[in-house]
Amino acid sequence: MQFNSFEFLWLFPFIFAIYYLILYRDSWMTKIPRLGNYVLIAISYGLYTKYNPACALVLLGVTVITFLAALKIEKDQAFGCKKYLIWTGIILALIPLILFKYYNFISSQLSAGLALCGVSVGLPGLNWVMPLGISFYTLQAVGYLADVYLQRIKAERNWWDYMLFVCFFPQIASGPISKAKDLLPQIKSRRSFNYAQAVQGLRWLLWGMFIKVVVADTLGMRIHVVLDNYQNNPGIMCMACAFFYSFQIYCDFAGYSFMAVGVGELLGFELINNFRRPYFSQTVTEFWHRWHISLSTWLKDYIYIPLGGNRCSKLRNYFNIFVTFFVSGVWHGANWTFIVWGILHGLFQIIEKFLGINKVQSTGGIKWLRVISTFLLVTFAWIFFRMPTLADACAVIMKIFTDHTGQFVGVVGPLLLIGIVLFKDFMDEYDIKPLRLLHNRFVIVRWATYLLLITAIATVGIYGGQFIYSGF
Per-residue DSSP letters for 211-231?
Answer: IIIIIIHHHHHHHHHHHTTGG
Identify the domain boundary among 192, 213, 246. 192
- Both 127 and 274 in one domain: the answer is no
The predicted structure's pLDDT at residue 228: 93
pLDDT, residue 409, reads 83
Sequence-distant (6+) residues with CB within 8 A of 361 are 282, 367
Establish if 393 belongs to a structural domain.
Answer: yes
Q: At what angle do helices 195-209 and 443-460 cross, to 10 degrees?
A: 40
pLDDT at 75: 82
- Mean pLDDT score, 292-311: 93
One domain for residues 257 and 117 = no
- Range with the poorest average pLDDT among 93-97, 147-151, 196-200, 357-361: 357-361
For residues 372 and 416, membership in a common domain is answered with yes
Segment 173-184, tens digit of pLDDT: 888 999 999 999
Last residue of one domain, picked from the residues 137, 162, 192: 192
**What is the torsional sign of CA 44, 47, 52, 53?**
positive
pLDDT at 30 over 50: no
The length of the chain, given as a count of residues: 472
In a domain, 356, yes or no: no
Query: Is 54 in the same domain as 95?
Result: yes
Q: Which domain holds residue 465?
A: 196-282+361-471
pLDDT value, residue 318? 95
DSSP 130: P
Residue 276 — very low, low, confident or very high, per pLDDT cuts 50/70/90?
Answer: very high
Distance CA 169, CA 43 (A): 8
Q: Are 7 and 23 in contact (CB under 8 A)?
A: no
User: Which is nearest to 280 in space by CA: 193, 211, 356, 378?
Assistant: 378
**Residue after which a domain boundary falls, among 192, 219, 251:** 192
3-state SS, residue 442: coil
Sorted by sequence, the CB contacts under 8 Å of residue 322 that are 6+ apart come out as 343, 346, 347, 350
Query: 370 and 241, same structural domain?
Result: yes
- The answer on 365 and 253 residing in a single domain is yes
Residues 6+ apart with CB under 8 A from 22: 28
Question: What pLDDT shows up at residue 83?
Answer: 78
Asked if pLDDT for residue 328 goes beyond 90, the answer is yes
Between 434 and 23, the higher pLDDT residue: 434
Q: Give the C-alpha distances (Å, rounded to integers) separating 397 from 85, 138, 234.
A: 47, 34, 12
Domains: count for the chain: 2
Same domain, 82 and 29: yes
Instruction: For residue 323, give the DSSP letter.
Output: H
Phi/psi of residue 268, each to 5°? 95, 15
Per-residue confidence at 265, pLDDT binned at 50, 70, 90? very high
Q: Give the percent of the chain with pLDDT over 90.
A: 61
- 65, 96 in Cβ contact below 8 A? no
233 and 269 both lie in a single domain:
yes
Question: Do 57 and 187 have their domain in common?
Answer: yes
- 337 pLDDT band, cuts 50/70/90, is very high
Residues annotated as catalytic are 332
pLDDT (tens digit per residue) in 125-156: 677 778 888 999 999 999 999 999 998 999 99
Instruction: Based on the fold, state whether residues 54 and 66 are members of the same structural domain.
Output: yes
d(CA 411, CA 21): 48
